[in-house]
Structure 1
Amino acid sequence: MSKTKTWMPLYIGDYLADTAGLSTLQHGAYILLMMDIWRNGPAPNNPHRLARIAKMDMATWEGEVWPELSHFFIVNDDGLLDQKRLRAEKNKAEEVSARLAKAAQEREQRKRARRENKKEQPENGPFPADNVSTPVPRPCHDGGTPVAQSQSQSHNPSFQSGLAGADAPHDADNVELTIDTAWRPLVRQVQDVAGYDLARLMPSAADGGEVRQWLADITAKGHSVQGASEIILMAVSGVMERRREQGPPNTLRYFRNAAAEMAEATPTRAAARMEAAYLEYTKVEMRHKRRPKSWTAFQQEWSSVA
């Protein structure tokens, strides 16, 4: 399932300002409609279908709910019901997701090309291949035997600090090395989303360290590196949507709190599976006219089984 279908942004301040006059029932119906449109696209403009999405009978829908919600929605050119702000956010999320997927595909292609080049290099030749680590004596300071340092390491930019060596190969497939592979291109993607002039601006060491720390903090909460990258870009995009007239901030540190808040609000894959299971469970219970257990009780039972 696409990650853009497992969560949607909710700007609490904007939402509460726009819906201050709604009742609890109307709030619930509005949120259910937006979630359905986010996951499945514009909904059929059919009152029976909309009432089912909102989980209520037609009399309640037509008498109490739809008259107060109708002005939040539009009917598009295909005659389907949509929500203008929701559509803009979904398009933005899909654009970011596609950009990250393309970057991941390009990284995989570079790794594959490096593996193929390594296979094609001769095992024995008059000169050592570029990727062969030729030991170079290094002076020792304790009077012992000089320690051999890899020549390829001493001259390979991937072993230097800073922003050089973004495309250096990494053989280990763990979180730390994946972060090391991902954070450098992510800095440029963040700058792009924030509206910086990439042709004139080079990433600073401070900005690079900031983005790398975001990745480390968010993956520590259980998100994948790919998911953490999406969270960061969505957070930056949301901030810039609110300050579009002011332009990009002086440093990427400005987005630190937004990235942390977005990470807290975005469920991990395990949490998303639990939420999907609870939604399915409530549907079954309501279909059989039984009262479903609370979300807290369901969480406790889910955790004990897991």
Structure 2
Amino acid sequence: MSERPFMQLYVSDFIGDTLHLSTEQIGAYMLLLMAMWNAGGKLPNDHAKLARVVRMSVKKWLAIKDDLLGFFDVGAAEVTHNRLTKELQKSERKSQSRADAGAKGGSAKALKDKEARLANAMPELQHLPDTRVHIEKEEPIGSSKKRGSRLPADFKPDFDFAASIGIDHSRATAEFEKFRDYWNAKPGKDAVKLDWPATWRNWIRNARSCGPGTRSPPSFSSTAKAGQTREEYLAAERRRSDRSFQ
């Protein structure tokens, strides 16, 4: 029997971190995570092999890889995932703990009680703004740092990256205004990210690929109704955005 019978996935956080991905890209991301889990936390940095993992042609894989590999740590020879590695280590520690308890004649109930006490002793992390009290909890696979935050007031977008993918400074500045309004209007944990620079890069990539049937969040000045305040506009946009994912 496998020592790792399941891979834990925190669904709400996973969905929140992958809103910018297409259905096809989300499927490819999940296949990479599951293959990496079964392989002990590493995959070869080889496009042909990674294309086979996600069940795509090499040409198709090369077209989407930039949007997916941003979630991973890419080395010269291997691809790893920070959170998945931590989950594997935790799984191995639990397995070893159970084996040690069995060897010492400990009962299953005693082990369960011990784990419950340890869990209760750990503070629980809530994805809330940094100005509020944080209680620590486990983070999902798909996150790159231990703690998230709302968009910092002094966040500086990487305009050089936007320029490198063909978006001029004027358009990148307009996109940043939409980016800032959108995430400032988001409530609760939906507006908490572990890597804001990566979130910006994914946003600007999505803006580059916008075409018929695709849009980025509208700005206040272009769509607000006459007499509508900025706060009313953002609240209406938030309700509209939430309905679109129901």
TM-score (norm 2): 0.48
Larger RCO: 1 or 2 (CA < 8 Å, sep 6+): 2
Q: Larger C-alpha radius of gyration, 1 or 2?
A: 1
TM-score (norm 1): 0.39
Higher helix share: 1
